Structure 1
């Protein structure tokens, strides 16, 4: 790839984010990741040649400083808003702080990172933004109402921003995974997992590398925009 392109991935130290980072690095991208508490994992990725930044996505000023630092070294060609937290609880038991943190990280953080990166993309009339959503954003999820609300907001942001920046040559899409083999699934019992797999026609969860492969495609294609691409093994059919 010449000249070398650059990607910024939020929540890039673990789970889907780590697979995204490794996939883009292997493709030759100059790879930048934001992480919050996963310092040991981030150090491992830094040793492989990635640029890592400890950024709390609830801190607008920290986001702006980190993005500005990256832009001093060169443009950001691809932004992947991957960072997210989840919570499983009954609607009436969802604490205010839990609700606020879900939106602060999953929605507001993605909004502010995009807002910091976008002007440089508009100036160059080039760029790709990929938001990691969830099938629950469109389908809804019992005992995950607040989480599903955040992903519904990400879907709306994806479609609306795609329309706004299309005249500037910028592509905006989202990937909505179903169940993915990451540590987010560790809270489920074997019985829970058996029930989950019964509802997936392909009979298995996605590997995070499969999400990363699709993200690479979206980053390099030039015509699909404003779309929410569902990767759920057939659950929504």
Structure 2
């Protein structure tokens, strides 16, 4: 039976771009969403145009038990996980409520680990599998006003590097993609002045595109990247 790729947060800009890229390559997909049902159903239709099986699954990955909720809906074998979930809280660290901190921890890191843990036994059995986690430039450098986000993405990066060492003997590769400033709705909270200041800091002089992140994910999950393992690929225009 053909193995599927799970893409979490598929209804977002980067998730959608990844889904369309992989569907075009002929990969069967499970598209995960939480709230944006209309968006993910439209995406499902677009992906299905490439004549591949595409199923939609819903789960709240910001809560304890979210990974189990998603896993129980996967009715076909999975050999690739693209964990692409995250929201930013642009505010002072001391203003982050405890409940929100736990939600972010589950969304960015804990459910990434738990979902990987649930999918790994089948991958180990087949001696083949790929896990790619979408991280962030702030996971490596940290950012004021995004302390929790930065800390959790830093945890994601270490998870990628550590798990890769553990699973490499079983033929499983674990990598990450760390976008910089991308032209996605995540920047909608920024004013025009703030965006301009941001652009002035980026050596390439522009924002990244969701399709560029998708290209990186497609590469990392392809045979062309068969010897790349435990790597977090920066996509940041030299920032």
TM-score range, shorter chain: over 0.9
Q: TM-score normalized by structure 2?
A: 0.92
How much is the aligned-residue C-alpha RMSD, in angstroms? Answer: 1.5
Q: For residue 231 of structure 2, what is the aligned residue in structure 1? A: 227
CA offsets, 1:59-114, max 9 Å, x none?
Answer: 554533532442x42x2121111111111001221211221111111111111111
Q: For residue 175 of structure 2, what is the aligned residue in structure 1? A: 173
Write the distance in 1 (CA, Å) between the matches of 2:109 and 2:31. 18
Which segment drifts farther, 59-68 or 223-232? 59-68
Write the distance in 2 (CA, Å) between the matches of 1:93 and 1:65. 30
Structure 1 residues 165 and 66, CA gap change in structure 2 (3 angstroms): same
8 Å CA contact 1:171, 1:225 repeated in 2: yes
Mapping for residues 67-216 of structure 1, pairs under 5 Å: 67-70=71-74, 72-73=75-76, 75-216=77-218
Q: For residue 63 of structure 1, what is the aligned residue in structure 2? A: 67
Question: Where does structure 1 differ by over 4 angstroms across 4 or more consecutive aligned residues?
Answer: 59-62
Structure 1 residues 115 and 216, CA gap change in structure 2 (3 angstroms): same
Q: For residue 35 of structure 1, what is the aligned residue in structure 2? A: 33
Q: For residue 16 of structure 1, what is the aligned residue in structure 2? A: 14
Q: TM-score normalized by structure 1?
A: 0.93
Consecutive unaligned residues in structure 2, runs of 5 or more: 49-53
Q: Across the two proteins, how many residue pairs are aligned to each other?
A: 231
8 Å CA contact 1:80, 1:131 repeated in 2: yes
After TM superposition, give the deviation of residue 14 of structure 1 in Å.
Answer: 1.3
Consecutive unaligned residues in structure 1, runs of 5 or more: none
Which segment drifts farther, 209-218 or 48-57? 48-57
Work out whether 1:51 is the aligned partner of 2:91.
Answer: no
Structure 1 residues 178 and 43, CA gap change in structure 2 (3 angstroms): same
Write the distance in 1 (CA, Å) between the matches of 2:207 and 2:102. 29
Which segment drifts farther, 158-167 or 54-63? 54-63
Secondary structure of the corresponding residue to residue 121 of structure 1: helix
8 Å CA contact 1:7, 1:77 repeated in 2: yes
8 Å CA contact 1:60, 1:112 repeated in 2: no
